[in-house]
Chain A
């Protein structure tokens, strides 16, 4: 089994696909559970702050920032850091590439289920 860190090294160069996972390749960036959650949550919100995402996904600061960074590097989310008074506020937004990748992923999952039902 691959260590979590090894996946990060592979993904740094951009979106990668998992071969042989079905009729088409799966988008590995989105396939990871927490990143799927981030993209899913952002798909129904124009923007979400770091704190809001953390609350929705019930995860830790470190875990969320690592996975959000991977999505950012892949060009799937935009991250904007600003200040509200003296408090820093990090806002995430799904990019058009991220939305397209999410829709592709959903289509892929649905296709897998349909294929299993027909077979």
Chain B
């Protein structure tokens, strides 16, 4: 005898409202995170970093000794890091997103190894007496870090990284007297230029 089958197929269990609500919240969070990649890098912070880098370039150029020159740029690096963090935090709070959102974490994780390598090599090159390579190394490593970090962001960020790489390549073959102008053009000029673009187009 054939098995008895219901005429109307058994309907699946209805999805609970709370399950739908959780699914919706997950969707909202993932959308906000992927959209956040458009805002993670602070444009205004970049502009301010550019201004302080220009001041640092002038101060470094007037430094009487290589030690003082390095001290000026090291102080500028610490100041720029602080500016970057404060402006990222401000931008994240203005947009009601956590500072350590996925896109921002990805950007920092991609940039951090280059910054670490740059810091380590700075001291090695300085104490080995190969100081003329330091500006090119800074521009190249920063450019590499920003380019990798920018792979998860809007196109303007990796373009900024590539511009640093181009400038670093010039610095690698340029005479030593060009060091401060090239650092000013990179950490000053490029930060101001791209910071302005990011601030105007990507929410500050």
Residues of chain A at the chain B interface (Cβ within 8 Å): 21-22, 33, 36-37, 40-48, 52, 56-57, 106, 108-110, 112-113, 115-117
| Residues of B with C-beta under 8 A to A116 | 16-18, 21
Contact of A37 among B21, B31, B39, B202 (CB under 8 A): B31
* Contact indicator A44/B35 (Cβ below 8 Å): yes
5 pairs, A vs B, C-beta closer than 8 Å: A37-B31, A42-B35, A44-B32, A56-B31, A113-B21
Q: Find out whether the CB atom of B204 lies under 8 angstroms from the CB atom of A110.
A: no
CB distance from A96 to the nearest CB of B (A): 14
Which of B17, B18, B35, B154 has the largest count of A CB atoms less than 10 A from its CB?
Answer: B35
In the assembled complex, the Cα of A12 lies from the Cα of B25 at a distance in Å of 26
Provide the residues of chain A in CB contact with B203, threshold 8 Å.
45-47
The smallest beta-carbon distance between B127 and chain A, in angstroms, is 45
CB nearest neighbor in B for A103: B96
- Which of A21, A33, A40, A117 makes the CB contact (< 8 A) with B32? A40
Which single residue of chain A is at the shortest CB-CB distance from B101?
A44
B contact face: mostly helix, strand, loop, or mixed: helix
CB distance from A95 to the nearest CB of B (A): 16
A35-B39 Cα distance, complex, nearest whole Å: 20
Question: Which of B17, B22, B31, B95 is within 8 Å of A22, CB to CB?
Answer: B17
Residues of A within 8 A of B27 (CB): 33, 36-37, 40
- Report the count of interface residues on B (CB-CB < 8 A): 24
Cα A109 to Cα B19 with chains together (Å): 10
Mark interface residues in B10-26 (1 if CB within 8 Å of A CB, else 0).
00000011100110110
A91, B27: Cα distance in complex, Å: 23
The answer to the question of B38 belonging to the interface, with a C-beta cut-off of 8 Å to chain A, is yes
Closest Cβ neighbor of B34 among chain A residues:
A56
| Of A45, A48, A109, most B-chain CB atoms within 10 Å | A45
A112 contacts B17, C-beta separation under 8 Å: yes
- In the bound complex, what is the Cα–Cα distance between A22 and B95 (angstroms)? 29
Contact between chains at B32 and A109 (CB < 8 Å): no
| B62 contacts A by Cβ under 8 Å | no
Docked-complex contact A36 and B28, CB < 8 angstroms: yes
Decide if A45 touches B35 in the complex (CB within 8 Å): yes
Residue among A42, A108, A109, A115 with most chain B CB within 10 A:
A109
Interface string of B135-178 (1 = CB under 8 A from A): 00000000000000000001000000000000000000000000
Q: Indicate if the CB atoms of A45 and B39 lie closer than 8 Å.
A: yes
* Contact, CB under 8 Å: B24 / A44: no
